[in-house]
Amino acid sequence: MIYAIVGIIVLILIVIGILFYLRNQKRASVERVEARKNEIKNLPFQDELVKVKVLNLSGQANNRFDKWKKEWQTVLNEDIKACELTINDADEALDKFKFKESEEKVAESHHLLDQIEKKYQHFTEEINNYLSSTKEDDRKYDDCKIIYREAKRDVLANRHQFGEAADPLEAQIETYAPKIEVYEGLVAAGNYDDAHEHITALHNEMTRLKEDMEDIPLLIRDVQKELPGQFQDIRFGCRDLKIEGYNLEHVKVDSNLQTLKGKLNLVEPLIARLQLNEAETIINEINDSLDEMLELIEYEVKAKNNVETTKESITDQLFHAKDMNYTLRTEIEYVKESYYINEEDIQKVRQYDNEIQSLITVYDEILTETAKSSIRYTEVEDNLKYIDDHVKVINDNQDKIQQHLTNLREDEQEAQKNILKIQAKKEEIYRRLLASNLSSVPERFIIMKNEIDIETREVHQLFNKRPMNVTQVRDKVNKVLITMNTFEAEAVDVLENAKYAEKLIQYGNRYRKERPDVNKDLNEAERLFSNNRYKRAVEIAEAAIERVEPGVTEKIEASVLNQRQ
């Protein structure tokens, strides 16, 4: 009994020891979150806030300074305080050995500290961005003063470059001086937000003025020199081309140039009123119109070169087409007595003759047109291209018909050679069947031989028919050739099976006395052999021999194949 009580007391002491050990372990996490809280509480926010004091702390800047200061004070007074209470709750839970509750409070404390850190980051970023913005605004302010000073100087020093736009430019430049002073006043009053919007808009406007001042001399040069010079070059160039025989009526050079001159007269007043976008739009339209005119003129010049280079080629092709057509018509009249010619090919040749005559007529008219003093070469080029495309098609098709006529005799000779080879091959195979070890020639070979003889006679009849249909002859010969190939393949197969069966039976004779079952199978193989069933005889004999001497049939078969080779 005493031992039991002592054991229980020891057990209780062990449990108590374990609980105190775990509490000490958990206490470390509470201490870590407490240390983190103190670290965040001591973040150098005041150092960040002091940076704002470089500005004029009045007006909007002072409002922002007070706002950031109050917000951080709220964080210290409320958020940090809430975190401290949560940490205390975690510590008390540990004292009561409520480990899970303590862990939850520690996690909650970390979450609160995360939110405080995010607020700190947000506040510091706002401060830094605000300071960066004021520095950028100061840079724009300095830039605006430079633009103002340089723009005023450029107009005074280079007034002739700006033409009638000089006075409006001076007036516009002078409007910027008070606007720059407005920025200075806003900064002095600490209203940096208003100053930012003002200087941003002013800087954009003055930057556009600087770009416009760079563009105005270029626009004036285009209006007064470049474009009038291009007008003059196009007018004189077209005059010279007309003298050389070009028809440029479709380009409408004079009327188009007159219209473009009218548009160009609108540009200078727009520049004088500083309406540069409208002026640039009109100049771009004029340049596009000039490009279109020059493109049409360039087409005419290229077309003339193409006409000169293709005339000789087309002449040769037309003569070739006409000569070939005459040759085809003559050859067809001669050949059709001996060979059948498709009526469609005959009609095509006649149709090509008419088409060639029409193309020659059109071509003669084109040559007559090109002899005139003023022609439009793009139209001539299109007409020549039409002739060129059509005569090439005709020549290709006539060449194919010519090749077909040439092939008729060659196809006939080839068919005759093939039919002679078929006859010789058929006789050779049939002699092999008769001279073989077959008990008799199988009936199917006699039938196939007779079919080949009949089809061969039909081929000879087609050879003797006039006019001969070469296509029909060729197809018939190919049909006989297929039958011949079947006849040969089956004959060779039968001869090899017969030879192999004979060798097997001869080899198996040595086992007849010792093995009645082998003797029985070999007798059956001999019976099948005498009935022309050679393949089945091979199967029976192979199975019988393999039972007594496995693998020997492969050697026998190999020896038969070697004898064939």
Give the Cα separation of 246 and 83 in Å (integer).
95
Task: Tell me the torsion sign for CA atoms 460, 462, 466, 472.
Answer: negative
Q: What is the pLDDT of residues 170-187, one digit of tens each?
A: 888 888 888 888 888 888
pLDDT at 14: 53
pLDDT at 204: 92
Locate 142 and state its tokens: 């300095």
Question: Pick from 28, 17, 26: which is nearest to 101 by CA?
Answer: 26
Residue 165 · residue 172 · CB < 8 Å: no
> In the chain, helix, strand, coil percent, each to 5?
90, 0, 10
pLDDT at 28: 64
Mean pLDDT over all residues of the chain?
A: 78
pLDDT at 540: 78
Residue 196 · residue 133 · CB < 8 Å: yes
DSSP state of 223: I
Give the Cα separation of 543 and 105 in Å (integer).
92
pTM over 0.75: no
Count other Cβ atoms within 10 Å, centred on residue 449. Answer: 19
- Which residues lie closer than 8 Å to 77 by C-beta, 6 or more apart? none
Q: Is 550 helix (H, G, I), strand (E, B) or coil?
A: coil
pLDDT at 139: 92
Q: What is the pLDDT of residues 147-160, one digit of tens each?
A: 888 888 887 877 78
Tell me how far the alpha carbon of residue 50 is from its chain's centroid.
Answer: 60
Locate 74 and state its tokens: 């709220």
Residue 324 · residue 303 · CB < 8 Å: no
pLDDT at 41: 73
Q: What is the pLDDT of residues 258-273, one digit of tens each?
A: 887 888 788 788 777 8
Residue ranges in the chain whose pLDDT is less than 70: 1, 3-31, 87, 89-99, 101-102, 106, 240, 242-251, 303, 371-375, 377, 437, 439, 560, 563-565
Locate 139 and state its tokens: 């840079």
Give the Cα separation of 13 and 3 in Å (integer).
15
CA distances (Å), origin 146, targets 152, 169, 214, 480: 10, 16, 16, 103
pLDDT at 10: 55
* First-to-last C-alpha distance (Å) of the chain: 111
Task: Tell me the torsion sign for CA atoms 558, 559, 564, 565.
Answer: positive
